[in-house]
C-alpha cells in the first residue's frame, strides 16, 4: 500500500513551459485534491475531485487544469508556467465525506524561472 | 476565501517546556483540524474536533474547539525534539469538500 504518490519530486521550468504533476493513490479514495504551499500562507486549495469524471475549482484555480479519468489518478497541469507558480504542490486523498482524514503525498517542489 | 490566522508564527522552546498555539477565523467552522508537517513531508492529521467546547487529546497533544466556533487551540506538553515542525489548523466548508488551512506555527525545540 503506497498511499499517495507524487512525481516528480523536484522540477525547474522556464516561463511559458507546460508540465503535468502526477498524483496517484491506491486506497480507492473518491476524494482527491491539489494544494499549493507558499511561505507564510499555509496550504491553498487549487482543484478537487469527488470522483472519476468530476472536478471542481478551489481557492486558487487560475493557471491550472485537472482531470480525473480514473479513481486512482489526479494529474495537475500547468498550461503556461509563470514565476508566481513557484511553490510546493501537495496532492491529498480521502474517502468521500471524510476529508478530515486526508492523506497527503510528499509534495512536488516547482521552480519557475 | 476564508482566512485562518495562527499565532504565534514561530516558537523556539527548550526541550521539556509546554507549548500553546491558537488559530482564529472570521467565520464559524463546524470542524477544526490540527496537522503537523515535518520538513520535506506532507501534513499529517494530529487531532480532529467536531463540537464546540470539545477537548481532545492525542498523547502529549491536547486541542480544544472554541466555544464561539471561531477559534481553536493546540497544546503540547513536555516537548521533545521530534515535535519540531510546522503546525497547521484547518477547517472545511459546509459541503466538506474544501478545506482552508491556517498560516502555520513553526516550532523549534532546543535540546
**Residue-level pLDDT at A99:** 60
- Rounded to 5°, the CA angle B22-B58-B20 comes to 25
Identify all chain B residues contacting A99, using CB atoms and an 8 Å cutoff.
92, 96-97, 99
Taking a C-beta distance cutoff of 8 angstroms, is the pair A27, A35 a contact?
A: no
CA separation, residue A103 to residues A32, A43, A99, B20 (Å): 9, 14, 9, 25
Closest CA to B85 of B48, B34, B49, B50: B34
Cell of residue B78, nine digits: 513536555
The kind and range of the H/E element at A70 are none
CA pseudo-torsion sign B4, B9, B15, B20: negative
CA distance B43 to chain A (A): 6
User: What is the band of A41 on the pLDDT scale with cuts at 50, 70, 90?
Assistant: confident
Q: Tell me what the pLDDT averaged over chain B comes to.
A: 92
Cell of residue B106, nine digits: 513553526
CA distance B108 to chain A (A): 16
A40/A76: higher pLDDT: A76
Asked if omega into B8 is within 30° of 0 (cis), the reply is yes
Cell of residue B55, nine digits: 477537548
How far apart are alpha carbons A59 and A47 in whole angstroms? 8
3-state secondary structure of A83: helix
| Cross-chain Cβ contact B96/A97 below 8 Å | yes
How far apart are alpha carbons B32 and B88 in whole angstroms? 11
pLDDT exceeding 70 applies to what percent of chain B?
A: 98
pLDDT of A57 over the 80 cut = yes
User: What is the band of A102 on the pLDDT scale with cuts at 50, 70, 90?
Assistant: confident
Restricting to B residues 73-102, those with a Cβ less than 8 Å away from any Cβ of A are 88, 90, 92, 96-102
| Cross-chain Cβ contact B48/A106 below 8 Å | no
Amino acid at each position: 500500500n503506497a498511499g499517495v504518490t507524487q512525481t516528480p519530486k523536484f522540477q525547474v521550468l522556464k516561463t511559458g513551459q507546460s508540465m503535468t504533476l502526477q498524483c496517484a493513490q491506491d486506497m480507492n479514495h473518491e476524494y482527491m485534491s491539489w494544494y499549493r504551499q507558499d511561505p507564510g500562507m499555509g496550504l491553498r486549495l487549487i482543484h478537487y475531485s469527488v470522483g472519476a469524471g468530476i472536478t471542481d475549482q478551489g481557492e486558487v484555480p487560475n493557471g491550472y487544469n485537472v482531470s480525473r479519468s480514473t479513481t486512482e489518478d489526479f494529474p495537475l497541469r500547468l498550461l503556461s508556467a509563470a514565476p508566481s507558480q513557484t511553490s510546493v504542490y501537495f496532492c491529498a486523498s480521502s474517502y468521500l465525506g471524510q476529508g478530515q482524514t486526508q492523506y497527503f503525498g510528499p509534495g512536488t517542489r516547482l521552480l519557475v524561472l | 476565501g476564508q482566512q485562518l490566522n495562527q499565532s504565534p508564527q514561530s516558537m523556539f522552546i527548550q526541550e521539556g517546556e509546554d507549548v500553546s498555539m491558537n488559530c482564529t477565523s472570521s467565520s464559524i467552522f463546524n470542524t477544526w483540524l490540527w496537522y503537523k508537517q515535518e520538513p520535506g513531508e506532507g501534513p499529517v492529521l494530529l487531532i480532529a474536533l467536531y463540537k464546540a467546547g470539545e477537548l481532545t487529546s492525542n498523547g502529549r497533544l491536547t486541542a480544544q474547539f472554541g466555544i464561539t466556533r471561531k477559534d481553536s487551540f493546540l497544546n503540547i506538553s513536555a516537548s521533545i525534539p521530534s515535535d519540531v515542525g510546522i503546525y497547521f489548523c484547518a477547517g472545511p466548508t459546509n459541503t466538506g469538500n474544501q478545506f482552508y488551512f491556517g498560516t502555520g506555527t513553526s516550532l523549534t525545540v532546543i535540546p
